[in-house]
Amino acid sequence: MAATSNGNPSREQAHDAITADEIAGLEPPNQSKPTTDAASEKRPNACTFSCTPHSPQHETLTHGAVTELMSQSKRPKPTAVPAADAPSTLEKARKATRGLGLRSGLGTYIESPETNPAVMEYDDDFVVINDKYPKASVHLLLIPRSPAYYNQHPLHVLSTDPAFLAEVRKRAARLKLLAASELRRQYGHLSASDAPYQSALEAMMSSPEPPPPPSERSALLPPGRDWAADIVVGVHTHPSMNHLHMHIFSREMHSPWLKHKKHYLSFNTGFLVQLDEFPLEKGSERFHPGSWPNWDMKCWRCGKNFKNKFAAFKAHLVDEFEGWKKE
């Protein structure tokens, strides 16, 4: 995604597009979130991890849990390269991908992660970003930084390179916990099954005794709701962006950026290959999803078939979201 001279993303940045309009750059850039009912929408913009706690107790949990997880992958400072040095092979490969259009929009995060506000964390091998157009409450992308990996098709490299698959699984497992903690931060106070955890946490934080460090709290609190069960990790069989990337997202599909039938189908059908399905066997049918844009839309929660009626289905998703967050 190209950036303006002041470091902010330009209005024609690419994103993880699915539709022809998006690939052509006709999808509008991020705007203010549509007005919603405050009683049903007490959360920040989709997939942002800035803290807007509902109470001091939530603030303590958020900073503790997220800080603990994020500290495992702190951002290193970029190393200065003498001007006389010849460009590295990695830099040559990255430059070769520039100027290839909107489908190469993820390249900017690989090249300059330290200057991009969408980047959550990065190191020499991977960068993690908030999806610019999230399709759910939480939607992250895990992107390898080496051209040896990001130039490959995800289904191929995840099926033929055991070392790469193992590394992706390790990182995805930690990001899944981070995403789950963000779901708890957003919706835990509304969830019936999370009430024991929330009550115990409030008592812990209200105690005159100093609370234990975040790393020790989970062992002292009831488990509550399994938020990680609502996080999905996978890749598309035909990615819309050139650079390989993994999706980590919450399955409730609640987002103003879920605008088309293809948006929903691409995350809720066989078009998405989940990480635990790898490695795929050579010649697997999973490499060929077929005419997936013509498939019916079936609710991820109740299974009801809405076929091609997207407007009715989007309204149904809102109702399902209200029920889901209260479970």
Average confidence (pLDDT) over 99-125: 89
Could you tell me the CATH superfamily of domain 103-204+220-326?
Answer: HIT-like (3.30.428.10)
**Residue 152 clears pLDDT 50, i.e. is over it:** yes
Least trusted range by pLDDT, from 78-92, 140-154, 259-273, 297-311: 78-92
Average pLDDT along the chain = 80
129 strand-pairing partners: 119, 141
Q: What is the pLDDT of residue 102?
A: 80
Average the pLDDT over each of 5-19, 199-213, 268-282 and give the range with the smallest value. 5-19
Tokens representing 21 are 């309009």
Closest CA to 139 of 110, 182, 102: 182
**Of 142, 111, 127, 128, whose CA–CA distance to 49 is shortest?**
128
User: Does position 326 have pLDDT exceeding 50, yes or no?
Assistant: yes
> pLDDT at position 101, please?
67
pLDDT of residue 125 exceeding 70:
yes
Domain ranges of the chain: 103-204+220-326
Weakest mean pLDDT among 83-87, 265-269, 277-281: 83-87
pLDDT tops 70 at residue 4: no
Please give the average per-residue pLDDT across 127-156, as a whole number: 97
The 8 Å CB, 24+ separation contacts for 160-168 are 160/279, 162/279, 165/278, 165/279, 167/125, 168/142, 168/246, 168/275
Global pTM reads 0.72
pLDDT given for residue 12 in this prediction = 39
Say yes or no to pLDDT of 77 above 80: no
Contact in structure between 227 and 180 (CB atoms under 8 Å): yes
| DSSP code per residue over 155-174 | HHHHHH-HHHHHHHHHHHHH
Amino acid at 112: S
The mean pLDDT value for 18-40 works out to 41
For residue 36, the model assigns a pLDDT of 42
pLDDT score for 282: 92
Place of tokens 């999803």: 289
pLDDT band for 94, please (50, 70, 90 cuts).
low
Residue 296: C-alpha distances to residues 124, 126, 249, 307 (Å): 41, 35, 22, 4
- pLDDT for 164 equals 98
Mean pLDDT of 72-101: 48
Judged against a pLDDT cut of 60, whether residue 139 lies above it is answered with yes
* pLDDT for the residue numbered 17: 39
Q: Is the pLDDT of residue 28 over 70?
A: no
